[in-house]
Chain A
């Protein structure tokens, strides 16, 4: 068996015959932190949702931990997790209750200590007895991250994880993720519009446009390829120039 935690093979999703993810193939190996980048609407979130079994692909296959996602979904989901800036835990429960519920659902061992530890490192311990619905969006995001790390996932998918965090907490979050990756060899796939996240965390970038990968490599390689000074520039040139998109797709093939 190879070292690939994730294998995405010819993945395609069409909504009403419009392709949103278009014949996408990539793999991620154990311990890698991969940034899935691209303009709004490029298909990043849809790709992630397909990797979680929430959306059924039109064509293609997803293999995680060497198993087919479609046929072994729960076995795979038990070893991975997900957090998104657009999600929240149930509004009518306190932070502590929500985390207890998910610890039970994931059958986390020594869940009390694990919750304690996560509340501590994300600096949300004082919020534990507050109703989740009353938290600010940045606080919710941090509680989501606690939930996403409850089961010590081998694979973590993050959809814009730092979108609503202040710079201090965003920095702290990056440190925590980097530390967990180093300690447990956790694999992370991360969509983020925050270029600091990408620079500091990602070993490799997959640049998506119109549902396809148009460039991939390390931050340095990508900038060199586009002759850009910064990732922001790459973003802008990819978003405004369709010919680059077509050329890149050709060369990738």
Chain B
């Protein structure tokens, strides 16, 4: 096999983001709105209370890093959603390309989109709030990668649902991240959650990423066990997501969902 089919799928899955004003807004404009809202809210809170200046940095870093996971997942889901909406799904699934190639193309586009938005947000945060991500330093790459992995896993899981249950399950693409965000200790430490929620929270890879992020922002150094936990859990989540996807794909072939929802 050559790389030609993979290249074509990467091209296809990237371009669908540029072809509609709504998608472009979703991808470029809303992350900026997020950044602005959270930035101003924290400035205001710092003014009326005596919150530490670090709260501001925590918030901005959190929103920028959370977007990595969100964009990676969204990019994966839209690839298939676009084919469902276009009635192109059957053409894609009867093409002589293995499912693994499809997923590889989605993952790569997820990575590119997450990276693009990450850089864009970092630049805007620097220009707008004089906040520089450089304070995190090299571990930032590892935080980024772990969030990317989690975005891939959720993306694969939601795509499985999309293929099995069709367009009706599309809302889950947006619901799952919003359900996970409060549990992932993005904007506050795990310790503020009630005990039983802490247990759930610690089972999620992003929790460890954001705990590590706050530690490094507060102290300038990070204990490696945060990253170790994030990575270990991510491996488990990826295996789990792959197994679920495979199951849902086989179920879809059994129940004729590909052809029912794809036409």
Contacts and interface: CB of A to CB of B under 8 A. Distances in A.
B4 A53 contact: no
Contact of B259 (A54, A132, A147): A54
B2 interface: yes
Given A92-B16, A92-B19, A102 B95 contact: yes
Nearest to B15: A93
B82 interface: yes
B221 interface: no
B172 interface: no
B7 A104 contact: yes
B50 interface: no
A88 B4 contact: no
A97 B259 CA distance: 24
Interface in A46-66: 46, 49, 52-56
B97 interface: yes
A106 interface: yes
Contact of A133 (B86, B95, B255, B256): B86
Interface in B203-255: 250, 253-255
Contacts, number: 101
B256 A74 contact: no
A133 B15 CA distance: 15
Contacts of B85: 91
B96 interface: yes
Given A56-B254, A91-B85, A92-B16, A104 B5 contact: yes
Interface string A1-30: 000000000000001000000000000000
Given A105-B9, A107-B5, A133-B86, A89 B94 contact: no
Interface in B95-145: 95-98
Nearest to B18: A92
B96 A74 contact: yes
A49 B86 contact: no
Contact of A87 (B12, B15, B90, B250): B90
A15 B256 contact: yes
Nearest to B5: A105
Interface in A71-126: 74-75, 77-78, 81-82, 84, 86-93, 97, 100-102, 104-107
Contact of A101 (B11, B86, B250): B11
A49 B8 contact: no
Given A45-B259, A82-B91, 18 more contacts: A49-B259, A54-B90, A54-B94, A54-B256, A74-B98, A81-B94, A87-B88, A87-B91, A91-B85, A91-B86, A92-B19, A93-B12, A101-B11, A102-B91, A105-B8, A107-B2, A107-B5, A147-B91
Interface of B: 2, 4-5, 7-9, 11-12, 15-16, 19-20, 82-83, 85-88, 90-91, 93-98, 250, 253-256, 258-259, 263
Interface of A: 15, 45-46, 49, 52-56, 74-75, 77-78, 81-82, 84, 86-93, 97, 100-102, 104-107, 132-133, 147
Q: Which 4 A-B pairs have the closest CB atoms?
A: A104-B8, A78-B96, A92-B19, A77-B96
